[in-house]
Amino acid sequence: MGAVRKDLTRNLGRMQPAIIKDIRNTIDSAMGLDTDSWKEVCITKAMEDVVLRSTSRVLVGSPLCHNEEYLQYSVAFATWLGGGAIVLGQYMPGMIKPFFGYLGALPVYYYKQKALKFLLPVVRQRIADIKKKRADPTFEFEEPKDLIIWMTQAVLDSPEIRNGPPEFLGTLLLFFVSTTDTPYRSSSRKTQSLLFTTKANLPSQTLGAVHTTIMTATNTLLDLVSSDPDARFWEQLREEAADSTIPESLRENPMLTRVFLREIMPKDGVMLPSGHHIPKGAWISAGTVDLHHDDRFYPEPERYDPFRFATKHDEKPAGATRETLTDKASIYRKNQGLATASDIFLAFGYGKHACPGRWLVAHQLKLMLAYVTLNYDIQYMAQRPVNQVFGDSIIPSPTATMMVRRRKHT
């Protein structure tokens, strides 16, 4: 994940003009340019188009990021892999898991092969170009700014896998789009059983670069359009930072009911400070919803406040720490920044296993929200559509719509 943590994050600023262009073009197409009439837009579908294109721009670069066939096959691969992992890991009885695991692998394998048909030629060309450049510094090759080039360099620098087939790198890129430290983490072995055809030991801790971002974007828009019209949150966002609105939606509507699933391994179990004993073989986790609605950290936790995280950095007392802050508001306000991983905000995990691509997700979401609020008016809805709970996953309504109209002179 070094290519994600270092190269990808470090180059986000350089890629921003291309990302903005894709976001602008896709939103204009999905929401329209008519400044007189209102248009009904399916939020999930619109966000899927926006996120898919802007993410693919970062992952595979141009022109592949605009290839409709490749985009559809890669999304189908991610959907079947992720959905299969959830069903297999959380719903299937143990004795029939092997059978349904191999059965569920069939569509995964099919869409993987279809996507690789477009992806592998690009990977092979990048490998050849990098090798030529390293052998002959005079070879003219301008490195594209995308994840393919950085992952290719990382693979060629690794003695263990530098001689592996291009299929390994291609599948790794697809896997990057598909899985995450989210619903699939509790079923990582099931996920890998669905990928038995890969012939590679793929990591189970990667970024759900598409589905995670789509759900977060959908929740953010749903929360805004279903908020109190008198509060005029949408209009205020044109003047305020969007960095607070998105984490508030992640707090109100986390993508998982629990995180950090861990199996107790010591033979004598584990004794908690409270005196409770957890035996070997038991599984424990952290409740995301409970933590995000704890009034010790978030005053009035049931109230949606898109500016909850918008407190200025200089409002925290100089030299204050988590231990010295006693005011409830100060405790949660110190956790500034959408991509900040905190022990009281678990949207992106925490510690060394925090989502490595959260900076990309945060960057996309802020650019998307800024463009929509600046260029479109909305009609507020009376009530927010109910989320769907699927296993440990909390999914925003896939059919929810919003009424939008292009602002004049934008």
Is this prediction's pTM over 0.85?
no
Residue 243 has pLDDT above 90, yes or no: no
Residue 308 has pLDDT above 80, yes or no: yes
Residue 332 has pLDDT above 80, yes or no: no
Mean pLDDT within 107-111: 90
CATH number for the domain harbouring residue 392: 1.10.630.10
pLDDT digits (tens, 9 = 90+) for 363-394: 899 999 999 999 999 999 999 999 998 878 88
Whole-angstrom CA distances from 170 to 60, 62, 116, 152 are: 10, 16, 6, 10
Task: Quote the CA–CA distance of 31 and 55 in Å, as a whole number.
Answer: 19
Domain that holds residue 163: 2-253+357-406
Residue 234 is assigned to a structural domain of this protein = yes
Mean pLDDT within 107-135: 91
Contact of 262 with 276, CB cutoff 8 Å: no
pLDDT digits (tens, 9 = 90+) for 133-171: 999 989 988 888 888 888 888 888 877 666 667 777 787
* Range among 162-171, 197-206, 248-257 with highest mean pLDDT value: 248-257
Residue 204 has pLDDT above 80, yes or no: no
Short-list 232, 194, 218, CA closest to 395:
218
Residue 181 has pLDDT above 70, yes or no: no
Residue 283 is assigned to a structural domain of this protein = no
Q: Which amino acid is residue 60, in one-letter code?
A: V
Q: Which amino acid is residue 104, in one-letter code?
A: G
Task: Quote the CA–CA distance of 330 and 319 in Å, as a whole number.
Answer: 13
Coil vs helix vs strand at 63: coil
Contact of 144 with 61, CB cutoff 8 Å: yes
Structural domain count, the chain: 1
Buried b or exposed e, range 69-78, using 16+ CB within 10 angstroms: ebbebbbbbb
Q: Residue 343: pLDDT band by 50, 70, 90 thresholds? A: confident
Task: Quote the CA–CA distance of 26 and 68 in Å, as a whole number.
Answer: 13
Contact of 362 with 242, CB cutoff 8 Å: no
